[in-house]
Structure 1
Amino acid sequence: MFYMSLIPQFVPSGAPMFSTTLLFTAIDVIELAAWYWLLSRAVSTLGTRVQRPAFRRRLEQLTGVAFLGFAAVLLANRS
């Protein structure tokens, strides 16, 4: 439904509707496949790094600092 409702408005006037819509759909599917492939590679690489103890310790420290910052903002706005 998405392709049938959105893509036809980008088809140039005089161009064959079916083949141009099919081409635009194929381009979008290829872009999505490339994007999901890159995203899965990045998450896979990050997943192996997150399991390291040093990374987890730094992440917990950063999260603690963020929570302290949120608490300070809440305390300052309390008055």
Structure 2
Amino acid sequence: MTRRAAVSTRSASDGASVVQAVTVIMGVVVGLTFLFGFGNVLNLALLLAPAGSRCSPKSRSRSSSWSMVASGPAGGR
């Protein structure tokens, strides 16, 4: 009595397309995770920046919107 080899009904291209789809989905998830994480860290850095640092909103020129927001509605006076 001999055993017959199991023959797959799937074509080879089905497996390749699944691998490609999973790779694309993983790439999108990793990319979005990086972008959202970078945005959150940048937002936190701008929020907590020391008064004399270059990225601080308070150290920018008076005409910029950052200095108006940082100084409040009275213009910091």
What TM-score comes out, normalization by structure 1 length? Answer: 0.48
Bigger proportion of residues as helix: 1
Larger Rg: 2
